[in-house]
Chains A and B, each alone.
Chain A
Amino acid sequence: MTSDARFVNLKAVGSPVIPDEAIPLVEGDGRFLNDIKLPGMYQLAFLRSQHAHARLNYVDAGKARQLPGVIRVLTGKELLGKVDPFRSMPNRFSGGESIQHWLAVDKVRFCGEAICAVVAEDRATAEDACELIEVEYEPLPAVTDPRLGEQDDAPLVHAECKNNYLIKREYQRGDVDAAFRNAHVVVKRPFRIGRKQALCLESRGCVAGYRESTFTLTVWISHQLPYVVRHYLAKHLRLAETDIRVIVPHTGGGFGQKASIYPEEFVCGYLALQLRRPVKWVEDRLENMVASTHARDQYIELQIAADKNGRILAISSDVWVDVGAYSTYLWSAGMEPLQTAGLMPGPYRIEAMRYRTRGVATNKTPVGPYRAVGRPSASASLELLIDELGRRLKLDPVEIRQRNLIPLEAMPYRNANNLVHDNVNYLPCLKLAVAKSGYERLRKEQHEGKPNGKLRGIGVACYAELTGLGTSTAVGPGTLLQPGRDAVTLRLETTGVLTIAAALPSQGQRIMTAMRQVACDELGMRLEDITSISNDTAAAPYGFGTFASRTAVFGSGATIIAARELRQRILAIGAFLLDVPVADLTITNSVVHTLDRSKSIVLKDLTEKSYFSAKSIPQELNPGFEVTAFYDPKFGSFAGGAHIAVVDVDPKTGEVEVVRYVAAEDVGTLINPAVVEGQIIGGIAQGIGEALLEELVYDETGQPRTMTLADYLVPSALEIPRIELHHANVPSAALGGFKGCGEGSIIGALGSVACAVADALSQHGGDIHEFPATPERVLKGLGVLASTQ
């Protein structure tokens, strides 16, 4: 219990608590990776491949080594035998092994692959030296299209990977053939989503320190998974984990791009050990566009078999993902291919499904995890096809979805992809979005036509997002890395202040604030008496880190368990000091008191006594105020929602404007509603970018054509409309009833905007299958421009 004017219903959980952790950021005192300087620190730059696929005939760094200020030039050959390269994680669906040297040896496989590392006294000198390195490339034929790359006569990116398959899986559940044979209607549709970039505003970076404090290697890194980095640094640099400390400073966005293991930071660590000096590498934006993982880049062919009422009987899909040159380290090349196909059913009741999915290696930057891996394209392709099914059966998009969504009363429901839906408000979300958007009126206005000559489109999309995955549910089917246990340590300090320590870094999700709110309610402490440290392997207990909409669920769950134990310890000592039974005591506003308030002791005095006057307290009552708890939610919990997007398409220019956006979400019990709102709206903005603007373009030789932010367009404040957000939350089965909310909204955004654009074009007999819906594609879809296909 607590009483705080800022709290809703006397609870911190559920209240829009202002996050103290944001104060340094708003005052310009954030300490991001690039802000870290150590005495004697060198700077690192990389020479990168100009070719998509080429043999390296020779690499001559002689002139670069002569440049004043250059400390060391490292080539791939020099690293051979000294460190272990990245080998694709074995996977029961893997097509063959891909070996990624930290610096290319003999061959380069994508534009931007690092060839040499140059250490100099300053970054400009390091970059100057890169230009002095002479490389003779012998260009090789490049693979740039996964559907051509899987042909028998295609060039191979890796000699060991037949047909360039890094991943291939076929799956079937239920009698799909019978469903299609007996269907009243079968609809099918191709779908293409381009390659995109997380585009964290802060790119990657690393400072590696030598013999700082008691550690051989201290690494500050802009990353989502500090303990995973520590584990793999130890493995690859052949150190003990205890020799390494990993610290994550303020991080300017992650979105999955900072959840993989990359060569550059490992080279940085290696060089610090070699040179016995701190070494810093900060990725610049031009590097980031080719050196950090890309996302999406898929071709999907989807079919639905349905009965005469529009009930979906089965789905069948073929998926090709252009996964780039290497299997992304840790996550494997399976992320997009396996999750796209596997999660295709989304929130719909589907008894039978079949898919064939492949991750085909190409000579492009590797594809890795990015916000809501696989789901946005799976969802958008299905939503577009459901609209088509509706048109065939003369059913409105809302009606056909209502007939297929998994209703609460059918839960727990095991879908054809073997995932169990439990406690999720898919139908209420749809009804809420329909009501709040005034859907019928929107349709009426649409049919009346627009006086300005624009085509109005309305898109409805429902989505499911599996969040807070525990040990029983893999992040991706078949991937070896199956995280699911994270710890939080609560420590009551001698001054009565509580410290929460966890290795769950925040990239703006206000995780520390969320855990403080949870602990506040459990312990009855004042919020200002609770602080939090995070992101440092020397200070926080073991955790996998922040990804897959898991952190609030894991961090809060572990906090609850630890807080309950800590509360017992506090009350036991309180009972002794106040000479009352434990059952008579409670804690309010950091004061331990009897229920009738006749006796009390402030927490600060209690902790001070327990530490400094321990002699007077029986030892068995005083085991110390430090509790570590692990939490594993075992199964994940589904979050879900329904989004309605309204767009205006200019048939003359092909420009699409999102004019209205309504979202109804079920994200479980809210910890901090304002933070949740920010997560959801931010995800919608990225989804609108994915639907309309953002695409990394490569030419047929594998040269990237979108190397700057003038070419790769992310939404500005003008492209994002005011988002109208509503909630239909039901608690999950996880401790506290929490669900993850970091990723779901991007799924609904791609689906709803894609459906809205297709809906607009259909009024002129047009259609669109490729996204983002750039003006060119829109005009092709309207038949104004000739289609290339």
Chain B
Amino acid sequence: MKFADFITTKAIRAELKAQTKEGVIEELVQALLDSGDVDADQREDIIASIMKREELGSTGIGRGVAVPHTKHPSVQKLVGTVGVSEEGVDFESLDGERVQLFFLLISPPERPGDHLRALENISRQLRDETFCRFLKQSKTPVDINQLLQEADDNQFVSG
């Protein structure tokens, strides 16, 4: 699976304004809603269920990366977006580091395989330090999208 298969380009956000965990989640869900990929009337329910998932254990998986996510019956296919925070946000991540890169995912309840393949893609790409660093330095959604496309074209993966 490639980024292009699940990242909504119009919902990509550079220079996130939010400075809290919940704020980032709200900002990115709103971005997906503005892009038309998420129903406006599902906004609160989706945010609540992503926060509920965080309570089970932070999705801040280290290296300044978090993958907040949930399953939700309102989506027909896996949708996701990317957000970058210049200063980083306290996400109670597993390694205690502030989080700068966010990959927010919403998947249909009956498609666990797609969710796994998205996580696989994200983690494989982020293993490359150059990709990770460039992404954290991105200042615009266009820059971020460019990096995702280069990653999709296997320009970063070392193995």
Instruction: Tell whether A and B belong to one assembly.
Output: no
A residues contacting B by CB (< 8 A) are none
